[in-house]
Amino acid sequence: MGALVVAAGASEARAEVAVRRVPELVPGAVAEQFHDQYDQAAPIATVDELPEHDAIVFGTATRYGNIAAQMKQFIDQTGGL
């Protein structure tokens, strides 16, 4: 829940905050087998909405020192911005 802590801090500073998550790459059936949190409250982020914001804070889990594949794929899609 690190995103919610960051959002709370920004809100306290009177910033307008929008918490989003990147799309999951794993099929739903596979995610269920590994007890992934597939149904989270935060809406899915889109690359098209990024220019609407003055600042963006990215956060991700790591795996063997690399960012999560879902976040990498999302960031890779922002090249046109």
Give residue 36's pLDDT: 64
Give residue 41's pLDDT: 82
User: What string of H, E and C letters represents the secondary structure of the chain?
Assistant: CHHHHHHHHHHHCCCCCCCCECCCCCCHHHHHHCCCCCCCCCCECCHHHHHHCCCCCCCCCEECCEECHHHHHHHHCCCCC
pTM for the full model?
A: 0.79
What tens digit of pLDDT does each residue of 17-69 get?
999 999 888 887 887 787 666 667 889 999 999 999 999 999 988 889 999 99
Per-residue confidence at 1, pLDDT binned at 50, 70, 90?
low
Give residue 53's pLDDT: 93
